[in-house]
Structure 1
Amino acid sequence: MRTINTNEMTQQFDNMFMAPARAFAALNVDFAEKMFNAQLDASKAYVDTSMAQVRSLMNVKDAEGLRSYMEGQQNVAKELAERVKGDADKVVALQQDFMQQSQKLTEENVKQAQETATKMSKTA
């Protein structure tokens, strides 16, 4: 029977527990950063659109200007609806990517744990 030294035990512990935990934490941090940036971009676009509309309204001086402003609101509403749909699609894509990467990571970690357990049982 072969004895396992401290370095081997530490390596096995790292392989089975710490490395997967670090990989999953890195995946979560990456996902959170992507989601935050997507939300930040969307928020900025919505604020910019709102501010542009307020400025346009402040420039209305007469009935013709008001009519023109109101006609432009249809385009703004259409563009905003398209932006909201695009932002929602982006979030869904980020979530799907995260789930696929999580599943792949889990499968890799299970395989690694099985290999490590097999090695440990052979050395015991």
Structure 2
Amino acid sequence: MATKSSTDQTAQQLESVFVSPMRSYTLTALDYYEQLFSAQVDAARAYSDMAISQARTWLDVKDTDSFKKALESQQKTASDFMERVKGDTEKVTSISQSFAEDSKKQAEETTKKAVETAKQ
């Protein structure tokens, strides 16, 4: 028959080895998804703004001069777009790497705690 002391110890070990690390990982994952979603929304907004701005530029074409300006604007927008995609890709990569590092660190800590607990 288990005593209250051994039941408390088992509950404490369960909290230490499983519940607390799972809670910590969940918080890390939620932060990751929040950052990732925010980056994607920001990127989508920027791409939409570029497309709408470019469409408005083309609607203003009335003669050869304005046509030339629209072409120049399109080239600049294409360049800006490529820079934005590059920056967004780097941002998402950074967010993902940070999440992977945090997850690895948490897994190592959990494994260490589990080994220590098993030795008791």
1:49 aligns with 50
Range 57-66 or range 44-53, more displaced: 57-66
Range 25-34 or range 4-13, more displaced: 4-13
TM-score, length basis structure 1: 0.88
Pairwise CA RMSD: 1.5
Query: Identity of aligned pairs, percent?
Result: 37
1:12 aligns with 13
1:85 aligns with 86
Which amino acid is the alignment partner of residue 37 of structure 1? S
Shift of 1:53: 0.7
1:29 aligns with 30
Which amino acid is the alignment partner of residue 104 of structure 2? Q
State the number of aligned residues. Answer: 118
Q: Which has the higher contact order (CA 8 A, sep 6+)?
A: 1
2:104 is the alignment partner of 1:103: yes
Q: Distance in 1 between matches of 2:118 and 2:16?
A: 11
Runs of 4+ in 1 over 6 A off after TM superposition: none
Shift of 1:3: 7.8
TM-score, length basis structure 2: 0.91
Unaligned runs of 5+ in 1: 120-124
Does the CA-based 8 Å contact 2:17-2:114 persist in structure 1? Answer: yes
Does the CA-based 8 Å contact 2:35-2:95 persist in structure 1? Answer: yes
